[in-house]
Structure 1
Amino acid sequence: MHMNSAPHLLTEDRPEYERLLDDALRHAHERPELAALGERLNAVQLRTMALAAVALITATAATEYEHYVKTRDEVRAALCDRDAARAPDDPGRPGAGIGAVVTVLAPMLAGTAALIFLLVGYILKMLEPPPEFATTMVGAGWFFAAVTAAAIFVAAVGLLVAALRNGSTSRAARGAGEALLDDVAQAKDAWRQALLERGILPFLRDALAQPAAGPAAPAPYRPAGRLPKIGYSRPDFAGPDDGPAAAPRPTFTSPDFSSPDFGGPEHELD
């Protein structure tokens, strides 16, 4: 897009243009310059004309629209980059995935081993006489129980640290995202205001001000000036007295037929 040319209205922004136009027509009675609405042109006819002239109407706010589209595209790109950076289990960082697996599996494995050793050890101690390795198995069971407690504690601390870090990052990212969205909202409001004040309202006002305007002949909109005269002039038909002199009518003579008494020699009288 170039600043010296009007950017084409994108398909995603067409509904916004129509909403702005409908809102202007809905509140036309509140604007003195649109007080003639309904006398010669109704809201449906004006809407049809404004939709046909959308390219020229939106050209009046080309600078604001270009800024709005540029800001919106930049914010979308920034948000996509942020989401990609926060994607979990990045293939380029295998250590993060291994650490998470160890943190989850260590308490489970240690707890299972502690349960087995303690259960078997105490069952063996109930025998008479108890085996010598029963005490060893009970001691191993308590060792794995201590490992389980330590692993749970480490996992809890890791989760807490990760939550605090992610929370601060999320708040910062959320604050940055809200600031970017505010920029988009401000750019959009500026475009809507310029489009309404410099494009839609002047078009509606000029369409209603044309004395020869008609619903069947919408005129093209020129943003820099007023609308051309809408309508048509009745052709001139000359009356019979004003036309050229009539040419003389042709005359015809009836054929000259001779009577039988004046015929040829074969018809001579005796």
Structure 2
Amino acid sequence: MTQPEPSAREIGVVFERVLDQALDSRQVLDALDRAGGAFSREQLRTRALRARTAITAAVAVEYQAYLRARSAATGPGGPAEGAREAAPARGTGALVLPLLAAAKPVLRLLVTARRPRCAGEDGASPDADTVADAASAREAWELALLERGVVPFLLGRLEEALMGRDRGEGQSRELPNRMR
């Protein structure tokens, strides 16, 4: 296997965190205020959760790039045997990658100090670079999910509600009931 399979659990956890971040953003909060109660925060959240597959499809390119980078960081066969068997190891990996990426400058310094330099070498450890690449790819995927997936979806639902209210759709639904 050249790259790990997408984890529905991982996608779900990231999606919910990004969704909460989007719902708390000034842009969405302002749109909620303008919509004048057409949707509550929880109603928007529920709609987004139902549309998760479509929303995440909008950033499939970034997700595939993240999977490739993660595969490169963990080796051609994926994570080590023990990590594949233990379910918690995958969850912790998602937490460890950003930490390792932050530690990249320190790792580079240590690697440079411990081995002799050859001409033209920058002293970087390939492992540190691939881990940092995986962390960067994950950040790019999450940012794309927020900016091109979740926020536009939420704003679109609120815009539809505003347009419907402006056209009087709520009132037109009531007319047939009154006419009976």
With normalisation by structure 2, the TM-score equals: 0.57
Aligned match of 1:67: 65
* CA offsets 1:222-268 (integer angstroms, 9 cap, x no match): xxxxxxx99x945836968xxxxxxxxxxxxxxxxxxxxxxxxxxxx
Aligned match of 1:206: 156
Q: What is the letter of the counterpart of residue 190 of structure 1? A: A
Q: Work out the percentage of aligned pairs sharing the same amino acid.
A: 30
The partner residue of 1:22 within 9, 20, 23 is 20
Matches of 2:27 and 2:63, distance apart in 1: 28
Whether contact under 8 Å (1:9, 1:58) holds in the other structure is no
Q: What is the letter of the counterpart of residue 176 of structure 2? A: D
Higher helix share goes to which structure? 2
Aligned match of 2:109: none
Query: Unpaired segments of 5 or more residues in structure 2?
Result: 81-113, 117-121, 164-168
Whether contact under 8 Å (1:28, 1:35) holds in the other structure is no
Which of the two has higher C-alpha Rg?
A: 1
Matches of 2:29 and 2:162, distance apart in 1: 22
Q: Indicate whether 1:236 and 2:176 are aligned.
A: yes
Q: What is the letter of the counterpart of residue 18 of structure 1? A: E
Give the C-alpha shift of residue 196 in structure 1: 1.4
Distance 1:37 1:76, change over 3 A: farther
With normalisation by structure 1, the TM-score equals: 0.40
Whether contact under 8 Å (1:9, 1:55) holds in the other structure is no
Q: Indicate whether 1:189 and 2:139 are aligned.
A: yes
Aligned match of 2:107: none
Q: What is the letter of the counterpart of residue 43 of structure 2? A: Q
Distance 1:180 1:201, change over 3 A: same
Query: Unpaired segments of 5 or more residues in structure 1?
Result: 1-6, 82-166, 214-228, 241-270
* CA offsets 1:20-42 (integer angstroms, 9 cap, x no match): 11011112357654543662212
Aligned residues: 131
Aligned match of 2:46: 48
